[in-house]
Amino acid sequence: MSLSEKINQDVQSSPLGAGGQTVTVKCPATVANLVCGFDILGMALDEPYDIMKLKLIDEPKVIITNKDAYNLPTEAEKNVAGVVLLEIMEKTGHKFGFEVEIEKHIKPGSGLGSSAASAAGAAVAANHLLGNIFSTDDLVQFAMFGEKLASSVKHADNITPCITGGVTLIRSIHPLDIVQLNSPSLFVTVVHPQIEVKTSDARQILRKEVLLKNAIKQWGNIAGLVAGFEKGDTDLIGRSLEDVIIEPVRSILIPGFDEIKHKSKEAGALGGGISGSGPSIFMLCTDETFAKNVERIMQDVFHRLGIEYKTYVTSIAQQGVSVL
Protein backbone atom coordinates (compact mmCIF):
# COMPACT_ATOMS: atom_id res chain seq x y z
CA MET A 1 0.00 0.00 0.00
CA SER A 2 1.37 3.43 -0.95
CA LEU A 3 1.71 6.27 1.55
CA SER A 4 -1.13 8.15 -0.18
CA GLU A 5 -3.43 5.11 -0.08
CA LYS A 6 -2.67 4.54 3.61
CA ILE A 7 -3.49 8.15 4.48
CA ASN A 8 -6.72 8.08 2.49
CA GLN A 9 -7.73 4.83 4.19
CA ASP A 10 -6.94 6.18 7.66
CA VAL A 11 -8.90 9.39 7.07
CA GLN A 12 -11.88 7.72 5.43
CA SER A 13 -12.14 5.24 8.30
CA SER A 14 -12.47 8.09 10.81
CA PRO A 15 -15.96 8.72 12.21
CA LEU A 16 -15.64 12.27 10.93
CA GLY A 17 -14.90 11.24 7.35
CA ALA A 18 -12.41 13.10 5.20
CA GLY A 19 -12.80 16.55 6.71
CA GLY A 20 -13.58 18.03 10.09
CA GLN A 21 -10.84 16.51 12.23
CA THR A 22 -9.06 19.13 14.33
CA VAL A 23 -6.10 19.29 16.69
CA THR A 24 -4.69 22.07 18.87
CA VAL A 25 -0.99 22.15 19.70
CA LYS A 26 1.31 24.14 21.96
CA CYS A 27 4.60 25.14 20.32
CA PRO A 28 7.49 26.15 22.62
CA ALA A 29 10.01 28.90 22.10
CA THR A 30 13.58 27.79 21.60
CA VAL A 31 17.11 29.08 22.11
CA ALA A 32 19.42 28.19 19.22
CA ASN A 33 23.22 28.07 19.11
CA LEU A 34 23.63 28.00 22.92
CA VAL A 35 26.46 30.48 22.51
CA CYS A 36 29.19 28.37 20.85
CA GLY A 37 27.09 25.81 18.92
CA PHE A 38 26.16 27.87 15.86
CA ASP A 39 23.47 26.05 13.86
CA ILE A 40 24.01 22.76 15.74
CA LEU A 41 22.76 23.22 19.33
CA GLY A 42 19.36 24.25 20.63
CA MET A 43 17.00 23.93 23.59
CA ALA A 44 13.27 24.29 24.16
CA LEU A 45 11.77 26.68 26.73
CA ASP A 46 8.68 26.32 28.89
CA GLU A 47 7.77 29.93 28.07
CA PRO A 48 6.79 31.63 25.83
CA TYR A 49 4.84 29.43 23.41
CA ASP A 50 2.46 29.64 20.45
CA ILE A 51 -0.91 27.95 20.04
CA MET A 52 -1.95 26.46 16.70
CA LYS A 53 -5.20 24.81 15.65
CA LEU A 54 -5.19 22.62 12.56
CA LYS A 55 -8.22 21.21 10.77
CA LEU A 56 -8.29 18.63 8.00
CA ILE A 57 -10.45 19.77 5.06
CA ASP A 58 -11.70 18.14 1.87
CA GLU A 59 -10.13 20.61 -0.57
CA PRO A 60 -6.42 20.35 -1.48
CA LYS A 61 -5.41 23.79 -0.20
CA VAL A 62 -4.08 25.52 2.90
CA ILE A 63 -6.18 28.24 4.57
CA ILE A 64 -4.40 30.34 7.18
CA THR A 65 -5.96 32.61 9.81
CA ASN A 66 -3.86 34.72 12.18
CA LYS A 67 -5.21 35.10 15.72
CA ASP A 68 -2.65 37.72 16.73
CA ALA A 69 -1.57 41.23 15.78
CA TYR A 70 1.63 40.41 13.84
CA ASN A 71 -0.01 40.50 10.39
CA LEU A 72 2.04 37.61 8.99
CA PRO A 73 1.24 36.52 5.43
CA THR A 74 -1.80 34.31 5.01
CA GLU A 75 -0.83 33.06 1.54
CA ALA A 76 0.42 29.52 2.12
CA GLU A 77 3.49 29.98 -0.09
CA LYS A 78 4.59 33.00 1.95
CA ASN A 79 3.79 31.65 5.42
CA VAL A 80 6.21 29.48 7.42
CA ALA A 81 3.48 27.07 8.53
CA GLY A 82 1.90 27.15 5.08
CA VAL A 83 4.97 25.98 3.19
CA VAL A 84 5.40 23.10 5.65
CA LEU A 85 1.82 21.95 5.09
CA LEU A 86 2.23 22.26 1.33
CA GLU A 87 5.32 20.04 1.50
CA ILE A 88 3.42 17.46 3.53
CA MET A 89 0.58 17.50 1.02
CA GLU A 90 3.02 17.07 -1.86
CA LYS A 91 4.86 14.24 -0.12
CA THR A 92 1.70 12.28 0.68
CA GLY A 93 -0.04 12.90 -2.61
CA HIS A 94 -3.44 12.89 -0.91
CA LYS A 95 -6.33 15.09 -1.94
CA PHE A 96 -6.98 16.82 1.35
CA GLY A 97 -5.91 20.15 2.73
CA PHE A 98 -5.58 22.03 5.98
CA GLU A 99 -7.11 25.00 7.70
CA VAL A 100 -4.83 26.49 10.32
CA GLU A 101 -5.28 29.13 13.01
CA ILE A 102 -2.07 30.56 14.46
CA GLU A 103 -1.95 32.44 17.76
CA LYS A 104 1.60 33.67 18.21
CA HIS A 105 3.03 34.67 21.57
CA ILE A 106 6.62 34.30 20.36
CA LYS A 107 7.22 37.56 18.58
CA PRO A 108 8.63 37.24 15.05
CA GLY A 109 12.22 38.44 14.90
CA SER A 110 12.74 37.89 18.64
CA GLY A 111 15.49 35.27 18.32
CA LEU A 112 13.32 32.83 20.28
CA GLY A 113 12.42 30.51 17.43
CA SER A 114 9.18 32.15 16.32
CA SER A 115 9.38 30.76 12.79
CA ALA A 116 10.45 27.36 14.11
CA ALA A 117 7.42 27.22 16.41
CA SER A 118 5.08 27.77 13.46
CA ALA A 119 6.92 25.31 11.23
CA ALA A 120 7.29 22.61 13.86
CA GLY A 121 3.74 23.10 15.10
CA ALA A 122 2.36 22.68 11.59
CA ALA A 123 4.37 19.51 11.00
CA VAL A 124 3.45 17.86 14.31
CA ALA A 125 -0.23 18.84 14.10
CA ALA A 126 -0.57 17.60 10.52
CA ASN A 127 1.15 14.36 11.44
CA HIS A 128 -1.31 13.88 14.29
CA LEU A 129 -4.28 14.34 11.95
CA LEU A 130 -2.77 11.89 9.46
CA GLY A 131 -2.33 9.14 12.03
CA ASN A 132 1.29 9.84 13.09
CA ILE A 133 2.69 8.32 9.90
CA PHE A 134 5.92 10.35 9.94
CA SER A 135 9.03 9.91 12.09
CA THR A 136 10.68 12.66 14.10
CA ASP A 137 13.34 13.00 11.42
CA ASP A 138 10.60 13.36 8.79
CA LEU A 139 8.95 16.13 10.81
CA VAL A 140 12.24 17.98 11.21
CA GLN A 141 12.85 17.80 7.48
CA PHE A 142 9.36 19.12 6.71
CA ALA A 143 9.71 21.93 9.23
CA MET A 144 13.06 23.00 7.78
CA PHE A 145 11.19 24.20 4.68
CA GLY A 146 9.64 26.81 6.94
CA GLU A 147 13.04 27.88 8.23
CA LYS A 148 14.29 28.18 4.67
CA LEU A 149 11.44 30.57 3.90
CA ALA A 150 12.18 32.61 7.03
CA SER A 151 15.97 32.84 6.76
CA SER A 152 16.94 31.39 3.35
CA VAL A 153 18.76 28.55 5.16
CA LYS A 154 17.49 25.08 6.09
CA HIS A 155 18.80 24.99 9.65
CA ALA A 156 17.37 22.72 12.36
CA ASP A 157 18.80 24.06 15.63
CA ASN A 158 15.46 25.64 16.57
CA ILE A 159 13.24 23.13 14.79
CA THR A 160 14.57 20.01 16.50
CA PRO A 161 14.21 21.02 20.17
CA CYS A 162 10.84 22.56 19.34
CA ILE A 163 9.66 19.13 18.16
CA THR A 164 11.48 16.90 20.66
CA GLY A 165 11.89 19.14 23.69
CA GLY A 166 15.03 19.33 25.80
CA VAL A 167 18.50 20.06 24.44
CA THR A 168 19.50 18.75 21.02
CA LEU A 169 22.62 18.45 18.91
CA ILE A 170 22.32 18.50 15.12
CA ARG A 171 25.38 16.46 14.21
CA SER A 172 24.55 16.64 10.52
CA ILE A 173 21.88 18.01 8.18
CA HIS A 174 22.86 15.90 5.14
CA PRO A 175 22.06 13.22 6.19
CA LEU A 176 19.99 14.37 9.13
CA ASP A 177 21.52 13.12 12.38
CA ILE A 178 19.91 14.30 15.63
CA VAL A 179 21.36 13.61 19.08
CA GLN A 180 19.15 14.17 22.12
CA LEU A 181 21.25 15.44 25.04
CA ASN A 182 20.54 15.26 28.74
CA SER A 183 18.78 18.36 30.06
CA PRO A 184 19.92 19.44 33.52
CA SER A 185 17.47 21.23 35.79
CA LEU A 186 18.51 24.78 35.02
CA PHE A 187 16.64 28.06 35.09
CA VAL A 188 16.68 30.19 31.97
CA THR A 189 16.34 33.96 32.15
CA VAL A 190 15.52 35.67 28.86
CA VAL A 191 15.17 39.31 27.93
CA HIS A 192 13.65 40.30 24.61
CA PRO A 193 14.38 43.95 23.84
CA GLN A 194 11.67 45.25 21.54
CA ILE A 195 13.95 45.75 18.57
CA GLU A 196 14.18 43.49 15.54
CA VAL A 197 17.18 41.59 14.25
CA LYS A 198 16.31 39.56 11.16
CA THR A 199 18.01 36.18 10.97
CA SER A 200 18.88 36.76 7.31
CA ASP A 201 20.54 40.10 8.16
CA ALA A 202 22.39 38.63 11.15
CA ARG A 203 23.84 35.93 8.89
CA GLN A 204 25.05 38.42 6.29
CA ILE A 205 27.38 40.20 8.70
CA LEU A 206 29.23 37.03 9.70
CA ARG A 207 32.78 36.49 8.54
CA LYS A 208 33.23 33.91 5.81
CA GLU A 209 36.60 32.72 7.11
CA VAL A 210 37.70 31.76 10.61
CA LEU A 211 41.20 31.75 12.09
CA LEU A 212 42.40 28.27 12.97
CA LYS A 213 43.16 29.26 16.59
CA ASN A 214 39.59 30.50 16.98
CA ALA A 215 38.18 27.36 15.39
CA ILE A 216 40.15 25.18 17.81
CA LYS A 217 38.92 27.18 20.79
CA GLN A 218 35.34 26.99 19.52
CA TRP A 219 35.53 23.21 19.01
CA GLY A 220 36.74 22.84 22.57
CA ASN A 221 33.84 24.90 23.89
CA ILE A 222 31.26 22.95 21.89
CA ALA A 223 32.68 19.63 23.06
CA GLY A 224 32.82 20.91 26.63
CA LEU A 225 29.22 22.13 26.51
CA VAL A 226 27.93 18.81 25.17
CA ALA A 227 29.95 16.92 27.79
CA GLY A 228 28.64 19.27 30.47
CA PHE A 229 25.03 18.54 29.54
CA GLU A 230 25.65 14.81 29.36
CA LYS A 231 27.44 14.70 32.73
CA GLY A 232 25.21 17.25 34.42
CA ASP A 233 28.36 19.23 35.19
CA THR A 234 27.17 22.81 35.60
CA ASP A 235 30.67 24.17 36.13
CA LEU A 236 31.76 22.70 32.80
CA ILE A 237 28.64 24.10 31.16
CA GLY A 238 29.51 27.54 32.48
CA ARG A 239 33.14 27.37 31.32
CA SER A 240 32.02 26.27 27.85
CA LEU A 241 29.47 29.04 27.26
CA GLU A 242 31.97 31.08 25.25
CA ASP A 243 31.81 32.04 21.60
CA VAL A 244 34.87 33.50 19.85
CA ILE A 245 33.44 33.47 16.32
CA ILE A 246 29.76 34.53 16.05
CA GLU A 247 28.99 36.49 19.22
CA PRO A 248 31.72 39.14 18.83
CA VAL A 249 30.16 40.13 15.50
CA ARG A 250 26.45 39.78 16.26
CA SER A 251 26.57 41.37 19.71
CA ILE A 252 27.16 44.79 18.17
CA LEU A 253 23.53 44.66 16.97
CA ILE A 254 22.22 44.38 20.55
CA PRO A 255 22.50 47.43 22.84
CA GLY A 256 23.59 46.62 26.39
CA PHE A 257 24.70 43.08 25.56
CA ASP A 258 28.19 43.19 27.06
CA GLU A 259 26.97 44.85 30.26
CA ILE A 260 24.18 42.31 30.73
CA LYS A 261 26.48 39.36 30.18
CA HIS A 262 29.15 40.65 32.55
CA LYS A 263 26.76 41.64 35.35
CA SER A 264 24.71 38.44 35.01
CA LYS A 265 27.75 36.26 35.56
CA GLU A 266 28.74 38.40 38.56
CA ALA A 267 25.22 37.78 39.92
CA GLY A 268 25.62 34.01 39.74
CA ALA A 269 24.64 33.03 36.20
CA LEU A 270 26.59 30.15 34.65
CA GLY A 271 26.72 32.14 31.45
CA GLY A 272 24.72 32.74 28.34
CA GLY A 273 24.58 34.92 25.26
CA ILE A 274 22.54 35.75 22.21
CA SER A 275 19.45 33.64 21.67
CA GLY A 276 19.58 32.57 18.03
CA SER A 277 20.36 35.60 15.92
CA GLY A 278 19.04 37.98 18.58
CA PRO A 279 18.02 40.44 19.85
CA SER A 280 16.96 38.25 22.82
CA ILE A 281 19.61 37.39 25.39
CA PHE A 282 19.49 34.30 27.61
CA MET A 283 21.32 33.31 30.78
CA LEU A 284 21.46 29.90 32.50
CA CYS A 285 21.32 29.65 36.29
CA THR A 286 21.33 26.78 38.76
CA ASP A 287 19.08 28.58 41.23
CA GLU A 288 15.81 30.49 40.82
CA THR A 289 17.06 33.29 43.06
CA PHE A 290 20.05 33.84 40.76
CA ALA A 291 17.71 33.71 37.75
CA LYS A 292 15.47 36.44 39.19
CA ASN A 293 18.49 38.57 40.07
CA VAL A 294 19.62 38.25 36.46
CA GLU A 295 16.14 39.30 35.32
CA ARG A 296 16.42 42.50 37.39
CA ILE A 297 19.82 43.24 35.84
CA MET A 298 18.37 42.83 32.34
CA GLN A 299 15.43 45.08 33.22
CA ASP A 300 17.65 47.77 34.71
CA VAL A 301 19.94 47.88 31.68
CA PHE A 302 17.18 48.24 29.10
CA HIS A 303 15.21 50.63 31.29
CA ARG A 304 18.28 52.87 31.46
CA LEU A 305 18.76 52.56 27.68
CA GLY A 306 15.14 53.57 27.10
CA ILE A 307 14.38 50.37 25.16
CA GLU A 308 11.14 48.50 25.83
CA TYR A 309 11.63 44.86 26.74
CA LYS A 310 9.96 41.68 27.92
CA THR A 311 11.56 39.21 30.31
CA TYR A 312 10.95 35.57 31.20
CA VAL A 313 12.25 33.42 34.02
CA THR A 314 11.58 29.92 32.79
CA SER A 315 13.20 26.50 32.45
CA ILE A 316 14.21 23.97 29.80
CA ALA A 317 11.06 22.39 28.37
CA GLN A 318 11.32 18.60 28.47
CA GLN A 319 8.50 18.25 25.94
CA GLY A 320 8.36 19.78 22.50
CA VAL A 321 5.23 20.53 20.47
CA SER A 322 2.37 18.95 22.42
CA VAL A 323 -1.26 18.18 21.64
CA LEU A 324 -3.67 20.00 23.95
The secondary structure of the chain, three-state, reads CCHHHHHHHHHHCCCCCCCCCEEEEEEEEEEECCCCCCCCEEEEEEEEEEEEEEEEECCCCEEEEECCCCCCCCCHHHCHHHHHHHHHHHHHCCCCEEEEEEECCCCCCCCCCHHHHHHHHHHHHHHHHCCCCCCHHHHHHHHHHHHHHHHCCCCCCCHHHHHHCCEEEEEECCCCEEEEECCCCCEEEEEEECCCCCHHHHHHCCCCCCCHHHHHHHHHHHHHHHHHHHHCCHHHHHHHCCCCCCHHHHHHHCCCHHHHHHHHHHCCCCEEEECCCCCCEEEEECCHHHHHHHHHHHHHHHHHHCCCEEEEEEEECCCCCEEC
* Distance separating alpha carbons of residues 102 and 64, to the nearest angstrom: 8
Which residues does the annotation mark as catalytic? Answer: 147, 199
Spatial contact of 128 and 74, defined as CB atoms under 8 Å apart: no
What is the chain's alpha carbon radius of gyration, rounded to the nearest angstrom?
Answer: 20
* Distance separating alpha carbons of residues 280 and 191, to the nearest angstrom: 6
* Distance separating alpha carbons of residues 96 and 183, to the nearest angstrom: 39
Length of the chain counted residue by residue: 324
